Amino acid sequence: MSNELLFAILLQAPLVGFVINGVRFQSKDYKFAGILACSAMAISFACSVILSSRLLSMDPANRHITSTLFDWISAGSFNAEVGFTVDAISAIMILVITGVGFLIHLFSVGYISHDERPSKYFAYLNFFVFNMLLLVLGDNLLVMFVGWEGVGLCSYLLIGFWFTDREKAAAGMKAFITNRIGDAGFLLGIFFLFMEFGTVNFQDLNALAPAASLLSWGEPLVLACLFLFIGACGKSAQIPLYVWLPDAMAGPTPVSALIHAATMVTAGVYMIVRLNSVFMAAPDVMMIIACVGAATALIAASIGVCQNDIKKVLAYSTVSQLGYMFLGVGVGAFMPAMFHLMTHAFFKALMFLGSGSVIHAMHEEQDIRKMGGLKKALPITSFTFTLGWLAIIGIPPFAGFFSKDEILWYSFASDRGAPFLWVIGVIAAGLTAFYMTRLMALTFWGKSRVPADVHPHESPATMTIPLIVLGVLSVVGGWIGIPHVIGAVLPGHPPNLLEGWLHYSVAKITLPQDAHVMEWILMGVSLSVAGLSAIFAYDSYVRNPDRPERLAKRYSRLHNLVYNKYFVDEIYFGRIINPLIEASKGLWVYIDVNFIDKATYQASGFVKSLGSSVRTLQNGNLQTYALYIALGAAIALSFIMG
């Protein structure tokens, strides 16, 4: 099968699923809709595997497969094509998007079975995957931007899928508007790159990027990187544009797993890794990225400590883990950032789907304070959720341990890093271990607080099979990126396969030589902090369940601040949104109504009155017309005779 045909099938399979289910959007046949959508995802995954396997047989320095559909824009020397590329970076993305996406589609068959609009739901899911593939496969920024906007549209449709609920509809609009702010920055970044290099092709941009660092903020490339990062903040929910993602949990839970764990929210990280050579030329921007990522990881993790909605806990966890990824790319750890992107897709998709299984069993209840002791009623969900918990808090040999500690090591030892970034990362890791253990304790362990009229039960096979597969990936997914310091002491000395895979695709960063002892010490510190934090959470919520309430009362101001998410939404509304609305009302009253409207009415009134005056000349009386002719002739003769 030719590469062009594989590209076509990879992209068009979900598009065909979208069209067929879209035409049948009023159908309630969830089985047909689910089978069609899952089949489209399975076909795309098969194409992704074939294309990625072909990369293995190529020279590592030239691993890429391209396909050009047609010329899109041609103006002077500028030319942009609708072209697609699979290389070492995008291969990871398409495998995650289609592989994890297939499992989420399969889970949705059981989850959405009682909904009134299953065909519309699966049509939106397939269309989202099509746009996400367009985003990661595009060989230039313009094709990426089409996919970038496409996933933004689909997220709006899916978050607000239950649009008859005003709160859910508002969450969809909040996500859409917040992302538009970031997208404006993304567009400005594209314009600055074009102004500097005259191209938007990724390969050309990375090749033309200067090797020397640019320190002036007036440089177009530096400004381009800054604006592109603003776009990434919107799509990947970083400070100050992170506020949409927690509210996005209003959508169906599989949507949260697909969009807000495995795919769309990682688009900003992917974009920066794709343009890694360009960003390396702007070290000040990279430091801003690292600081914003570290701050996001810390603040979101602290908010997660006090959340009681099972999906909100996971939402803030996602924001925090995305902060780790931006911390990674900010210090030049492009390989560890992609590594964490991949492992996070496994264990966070698992946990979101696991939360969906819990909500399904609890008859749509999402408050973890009304759960407890669900381990017996939901054995498969509980076991797989435990695997995700161990992965996200970074316990070896689970996937999250390897990727998280690689980022922490680079943040400390990289020439683009700093010790304070490592400290923030470790504190965030400790908070992560605490709130995730709290989630496990209040949901699955301890005494049952389930209402008497609720009878939890395990989910059907279509929902538990994806959990099992993702649970396995959460265990073994990190083994392809075992750090050298650990591989050196393991039997067989397993290599860091992911580092070799991305060797020629990302810029290299300087690390200290022979610093193995320091790396082991730092790894031990972060693991100890996470372990002690998890033990403290278990002791607080299982053995001494009255302790959290006592601490909340003792530190009531701090608890109130964190519980209310630092009042960020209230500040935005009070300081930005409401003043803009009031200013807009003023502009409407004084400019639109009193000036533009009145000027328009006066002008139209003058023309109307003038027309009314002239209209009297056209009264249809022949004698009057004869008089006008005679007067006109007399006036004309007077001028001639004069």
95 falls within a domain = yes
Which residue is associated with the tokens 């990727």?
403
Q: What is the pTM of this model?
A: 0.91
| Residues 229 and 290 both lie in one domain | yes
**Residue 570 is assigned to a structural domain of this protein:** no
SS3 13: helix
List the alpha helices (DSSP H) in 477-554. 484-487, 497-501, 516-538, 547-554
Mean pLDDT of the chain: 92
What is the average per-residue pLDDT within 534-543?
A: 95
Domain boundary residue, one of 505, 539, 563: 563
The verdict on 553 and 625 lying in the same domain is no
Tens digit of pLDDT for each residue in 137-183? 999 999 999 999 999 999 999 999 998 888 899 999 999 999 999 99
Average pLDDT over residues 58-71: 89
Q: Are residues 153 and 131 in the same domain?
A: no
Q: What is the pLDDT of residues 457-514, one digit of tens each?
A: 898 999 999 999 999 999 999 999 999 899 989 988 899 999 999 999 999 888 888 8
161 shares its domain with 108: no
Same domain, 486 and 434: yes
Residue 120 lies in a domain: yes
348-374 pLDDT per residue, tens = 999 999 999 999 899 888 999 999 999
7 lies in some domain? yes
| Nearest CA among 144, 174, 133 for reference residue 81 | 144
In a domain, residue 569? The reply is no
Type and span of the H or E element at 391 = helix 379-392
User: Measured at the alpha carbon of residue 343, what is the angle toward residues 341 and 344, in degrees to the nearest 5?
Assistant: 65
Kindly list the distances between the CA atom of residue 26 and the CA atoms of 125, 161, 511, in Å, as whole numbers in the listed order.
16, 14, 58
User: If we measure between CA atoms, which residue out of 546, 527, 366, 322 comes closest to residue 433?
Assistant: 527
Contact 143, 202 (CB under 8 A): no
The last residue of a domain, from among 139, 157, 179 = 139
Q: Could you tell me if 84 and 229 lie in one domain?
A: no
pLDDT on residue 642: 64
Specify whether 194 is located in the same domain as 277: yes
Shared domain check, 109 and 54: yes
557 plus 582 within the same structural domain: no
Do residues 98 and 153 share a domain? no
Q: How many domains does the chain have?
A: 3
Structural domain that includes position 2: 1-139
- Whether residue 156 sits in one domain with residue 13: no
Among residues 139, 164, 199, the one where a domain terminates is 139
- The rounded distance, in Å, linking the Cα atoms of 280 and 292 is 17
Q: Is there a single domain that holds both residue 333 and residue 288? A: yes
Give the separation between CA 73 and CA 188, rounded to whole angstroms: 18
> Could you tell me the two tokens for 256?
């949260």
Could you tell me if residue 505 is inside a domain? yes
